[in-house]
Amino acid sequence: MKLVTIVGARPQFIKASVVSAALAHSCEEVMVHTGQHYDHNMSDVFFEELGIPRPKYNLGVGSGSHGKQTGEMLMKIEEVLLEEKPDVLLVYGDTNSTLAGALAASKLHIPVAHVEAGLRSYNRRMPEEQNRVLTDHISSWLFCPTQTAADNLKKEGVEQGVSITGDVMLDSVLHFLKVAKENPEKSAIYDRLGITPKGYRLATLHRAETTDGGLEAVLRIFRAFEQLPQPVVLPIHPRTRKLAEEAIQQEGFGNIQLIDPVGYLEMLLLTSGANQVLTDSGGLQKEAWFMEVPCVTLRQETEWVETLTGSWNVLSQLETEDILQKALHTIPDPSARGLMPFGDGHASEKIAAALLEQTK
C-alpha cells in the first residue's frame, strides 16, 4: 500500500508520529507538509523530537486568509497526488491542511482516511468545525476517537467506514511523556523558567475566536490570569504574540510569564507539572485530562465533551470574572477518572491494521 499523509500544524505532527510508526513496516508512506505552521518552534522541532520521517514535500504555503491558504494548498496537494498516485490519502484533525488534502484526493477519486473523525462543537462559525464536517463527508475511512464521535456521524447519516479506534493523542502522551521525563535536557525546563511542579498554571491562546476579539479580549483574559494565586506560564503562539505584548505593555501583568513556543516533549512536562491548565486548544484539553490536570477551557463549547465529566474540564466565557470563578472554585471529582472514553492507548495500531485490511 502506498499512502500520502498530509500534515501542516503542530497537533498533526504529534498524531502522525505514532500512526506513522505503526505503519512503518507495512506500507510506503509519503509525508507532505503544507507549511501551515512554518515557525521552527511550531514545526521543525517536532520532526526532530518525535522521530517523524522528514516530509518528502514541503509546500511552503504559510499563513494567509482561509480561502487563499486552503486554495493554494489544494492546488499544490493535487500536483503531489498526480505525481505519487497513492492508494490512500491520510489526514488528521480539522485544519485547513486537512480539508485541502481531503478535497484534492476526493476530486482525483483517491480514498480519504480521516483520523479524529466525528468531532463536533456544533459551532459553524469555527473554521475548524467547517473543516472537520466537510472532511468527514468525503472520507472513506473515519477513525473516531470516542463513541460520542461515532454517534455524531450517525446523526448525520454517516455510518459506512466508521470505526472507533480510541484517540491517537493518548498513544502519544503515554509514550512521549515517559521519554520526556527521562531526558535531562527536557526536564530542565522547570529550572530554566524558574518554576516548580504544581507551583504554576499553564495557559495557551491561539484560536481565531479568541484573537478576533482584539486587544480588549486579550486584556480581559490577562486580567483574570493576573489575579490567580500562582504564576501563569504562557507559551505564546505567533498569532497571539503581538496582542499579548501590547496587553502587557499597557497594563504590566507581572503574574504572566510569556515564553516562546516549546517542543512537544517540554510541553508535556509543562502540562503534567501544572496545577491547572487554561486554554482555548482542543488538544491541550485532552492532554490535561490524560494527565489528571484540571482544565479551564476558554470557549463556549468543546468538541471533547468527554473531558467535562467530573469537572476535570470546565468551559468559561472570555470574561475576567467568569474565568476567575471557574479557575478558583472548580473542584474536579476523582471518581470520574474511572472512565476511559479515549481508548486503551493503542489507537494508532488499530488504524494501521484497519487501513491495511481495507486496502488489500
**Catalytic residue list:** 206
- Residue carrying the nine cell digits 494508532: 348
Torsion 215-218-220-225 (CA) sign: negative
Q: With contact defined as beta carbons under 8 Å apart, do 244 and 214 qualify?
A: no
d(Cα 320, Cα 239) in Å, to the nearest integer?
21
Count Cβ atoms below 10 Å from residue 244 Cβ, excluding itself: 21
Torsion 110-114-117-123 (CA) sign: negative
Sequence letter at residue 156: E
All three cell numbers of 108, joined, read 482525483
d(Cα 308, Cα 312) in Å, to the nearest integer?
6
Torsion 233-237-241-243 (CA) sign: negative
